[in-house]
Amino acid sequence: MKRVLILIGTLFFLIGCEEKIDDGKINPPYSSDIDDAMYKDVVADFENAGFTNVKTKKIEDLVFGWLTEDGEVEEITIDGETSFSTSSRFESDVEIIVFYHTFQETDKDITQDTETDESENIDEGKGEDDTSKIEESIDSTKDEVITVENNEEFANVLGKKSADEQTSEFAEKYKGRTIAFDANIAYMNNHGSYTTRYDLLIYTGDYSETEVYGPNFQIRDVNISNLNLTGENIPDTIGMGDHIYLTAKIIEWDEERQLFRLEPVSTEFR
């Protein structure tokens, strides 16, 4: 009799478990801690899992796209919640929003409008020679790498003891342009908890523990390959105190921290 009661109890337990599992809800294919995923893949995976109300939302914050890829997911919300796991269960029609990084559409529209205007001018045959000369001059100036030899403003910025109003004015005027100068790695540390990604503090000229000239330059969240090492003297390791010739694009001037943020184009050891 005792065995019969145990058997009946076990059956009721199993039936109860089946009823809980078969509740018509679905487990999400990702947790809220998602990292380095592309939004199209994420949307497809949610839909393949059975979710029917998956939406996307752009975060138009990319400038160069070298740290964060175009289309990379920032966050997922399910029914407005930002914290969930793959063991969570939701109705199939719950609202899911996938937030992802991308470039501003206005930048593309401006480029397209410019190309259209230039095409119309050429088709109309008005001032073709003058237009070509102006375009060549603009392109040449825009592509020119700024150095202390060809830009007096840059030479003044590097020669100052510390940053001032001229520094921020230079940064605003030449934002997005490429600069090149003799520099040194003043400090280098791991970016967050990563062991192969780094933040570098760059100063102009040769390394010194006692005297520093020019503004602070920062290269942030890069691995060694992102530095694009060139030249004949590439070392096995890099670190604080190394002398380099740095070519980099100006991303922005951080007024609060008083530093330039740079995107490396090439790094040559000297």
Beta-carbon contacts of residue 214 (< 8 Å; ≥ 6 apart): 157, 158, 159, 160, 203, 204, 205
pLDDT tens-digit profile of 35-76? 889 999 999 999 999 999 999 999 887 765 556 788 899 999
d(CA 46, CA 95): 11
Q: Mean pLDDT in the chain?
A: 83
Going along the chain from its start, the domains and CATH numbers come out as 22-122 (3.30.10.20), 152-269 (2.40.50)
Residue 109: the pLDDT is: 46
Residue 4: the pLDDT is: 47
d(CA 185, CA 190): 14
pLDDT tens-digit profile of 126-160? 555 555 554 554 455 567 999 999 999 999 999 99
Percent of residues, the chain, with pLDDT higher than 90: 60
Percent of residues, the chain, with pLDDT higher than 70: 76
How many helices (H) and strands (E) are present in the chain, helices listed first? 6, 9
Looking at the chain, which runs of residues are DSSP E strands? 54-62, 73-78, 96-103, 178-190, 198-204, 216-222, 229-230, 243-254, 259-269
Residue 66: the pLDDT is: 57
User: SS3 of 47, please?
Assistant: helix
Q: What is the pTM of this model?
A: 0.50
CB neighbourhood size of 69 (10 A): 14
User: Is 34 a residue whose pLDDT tops 50?
Assistant: yes
With bands split at pLDDT 50, 70 and 90, how would you rate the model's confidence at 18? very low
Give alpha helix (H) positions in 125-187.
128-143, 152-159, 165-173
User: Is 213 a residue whose pLDDT tops 60?
Assistant: yes
CA-based max dimension of the chain: 105
CA dihedral 87, 92, 93, 96 (to 10 degrees): 40
pLDDT tens-digit profile of 84-128? 999 999 999 999 999 998 887 654 444 455 555 555 554 555 555
Per-residue buried b or exposed e for 184-215, using 16+ beta carbons within 10 Å of the residue's own CB: bbbebeeeeeeeebbbbbbbbbeeeeeebebb
Residue 9: the pLDDT is: 55
Residue 137: the pLDDT is: 47
d(CA 185, CA 36): 29
Residue 147: the pLDDT is: 97
With bands split at pLDDT 50, 70 and 90, how would you rate the model's confidence at 249? very high
d(CA 95, CA 257): 40
* DSSP-assigned beta bridge partners for residue 146: 179
Based on the number of CB atoms within 10 Å of its own CB, is 106 exposed (0-12), middle (13-18) or buried (19 or more)?
Answer: exposed
